């Protein structure tokens, strides 16, 4: 297959952790041809969506210094339907430029391009808001820009989490308790004085045991999750916020959540999803560029990238 990856700059990859790199390695080991482009390489011209794509060759080096871990051929504008699969692996922020990219990718689909995850599905599943589709699995949650409702929610639950709807890696996530003298400024800052919608969730003390990343590939759960355990004194388990990743077998509840959501996710065109589960509660549905492949594989021996490629090969 010819597989195109829409990614952040290759030199920004952390080879020890990057899931896209793991996917690339697995695809190359199977003899697939790899191509790479960035978000700004997409264009619509003469009724076709093209990518200024370079053929990507992986080397045996895992160093970010020269010689590099990759070699690129000269880039060429290529209609996206000429690839067997296009993997959208650009990290957030999910801003207007990201949305414009999904518009372009959706137009490419109409000409026969096979894009994973589907661009419409990415737009339709905000990674925070998507839990509302599966409310039977969530903790008490409020989405609003109104300070009065947020204060009422805090008064009801006494200990809550506040976060933006477009963040990643634990950025701008606050734990707020009743009586916190900073509650006003936190709400004002996150909501931009009521101009920006945010999310509040009841604090889940089970976070001390880890914020679990449960991967769902082709509608089926990976049998192991990565529990991201917060540093002492920290409420965020995200690896980007200093959490420690520990691979574990799925619990019965993890599997129940994943197996319930799986058929709906794949039907929507979401080949790869990362569910965030704290205790028994679903907290996020990650659809842009889910991670944790390498950590799970290194600690358990289960080839997560291999599972993804198996599914992708059947779909293309």
Answer whether residue 65 shows pLDDT above 60: no
How much of the chain exceeds pLDDT 70, in percent?
Answer: 96
Provide the 8-state DSSP code for 67: S
Segments making up each domain of the chain, as ranges: 2-117, 140-203, 206-315
Residues taking part in catalysis: 128, 163, 213, 228, 236, 276, 284, 286
Half-sphere exposure of 47 (CA within 13 A, CB side): 3
Helices (H), the chain: 19-29, 96-110, 119-124, 147-157, 183-190, 252-267, 293-300, 304-315
At the second CATH level, the architecture of 206-315 is 2-Layer Sandwich (3.30)
Instruction: Please state which CATH class domain 2-117 belongs to.
Output: alpha beta
CATH superfamily of 140-203: ATP-grasp fold, A domain (3.30.1490.20)
Give pLDDT, residue 235. 72
Average pLDDT (63-68) is 60
Give pLDDT, residue 4. 98
Give pLDDT, residue 232. 80
The 10s digit of each residue's pLDDT in 239-267 is 776 789 999 999 999 999 999 999 999 99
Give pLDDT, residue 193. 94
The 10s digit of each residue's pLDDT in 147-179 is 999 999 999 999 999 999 987 777 789 999 999
Answer whether residue 67 shows pLDDT above 60: no
The 10s digit of each residue's pLDDT in 21-53 is 999 999 999 999 999 999 999 999 989 999 999
The answer to whether the CB of 268 falls within 8 A of the CB of 216 is: no
Give pLDDT, residue 62. 61
């Amino acid at each position: 297959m010819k597989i195109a990856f829409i990614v952040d700059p290759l030199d920004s990859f952390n080879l020890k952790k990057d899931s896209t790199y793991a996917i690339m390695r697995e695809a190359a080991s199977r003899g697939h041809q790899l191509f790479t482009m960035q978000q700004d390489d997409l264009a619509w011209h003469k009724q076709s969506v093209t990518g200024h794509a370079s053929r990507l060759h992986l080397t045996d080096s895992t160093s970010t210094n020269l010689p590099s871990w990759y070699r690129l051929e000269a880039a060429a504008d290529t209609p996206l339907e000429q690839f067997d699969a296009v993997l959208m692996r650009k990290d957030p922020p999910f801003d207007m430029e990201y949305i414009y990219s999904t518009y372009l990718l959706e137009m490419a689909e109409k000409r026969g391009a096979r894009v994973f995850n589907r661009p419409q599905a990415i737009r339709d599943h905000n990674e925070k808001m998507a839990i509302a589709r599966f409310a039977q699995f969530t903790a008490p949650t409020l989405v609003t820009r109104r300070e009065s409702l947020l204060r009422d929610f805090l008064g009801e639950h006494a200990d809550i989490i506040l976060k933006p709807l477009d963040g990643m890696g634990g950025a701008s996530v606050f734990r707020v308790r009743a009586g916190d003298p900073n509650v006003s400024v936190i709400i004002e800052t996150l909501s931009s004085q009521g101009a920006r919608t945010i999310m509040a969730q009841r604090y889940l003390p089970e976070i001390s045991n880890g914020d679990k990343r449960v991967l769902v590939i082709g509608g089926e759960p990976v049998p192991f999750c990565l529990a991201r355990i917060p540093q002492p004194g920290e409420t965020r388990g995200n690896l980007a916020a200093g959490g420690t990743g520990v691979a574990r077998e799925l619990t019965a509840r993890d599997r129940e959540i994943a197996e319930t959501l799986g058929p709906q996710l794949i039907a929507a065109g979401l080949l790869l999803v990362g569910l965030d589960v704290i205790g028994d509660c679903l907290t996020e549905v990650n659809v842009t560029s889910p991670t944790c492949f390498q950590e799970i594989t290194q600690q358990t021996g289960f080839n997560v990238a291999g599972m993804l490629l198996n599914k992708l090969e059947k779909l293309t």
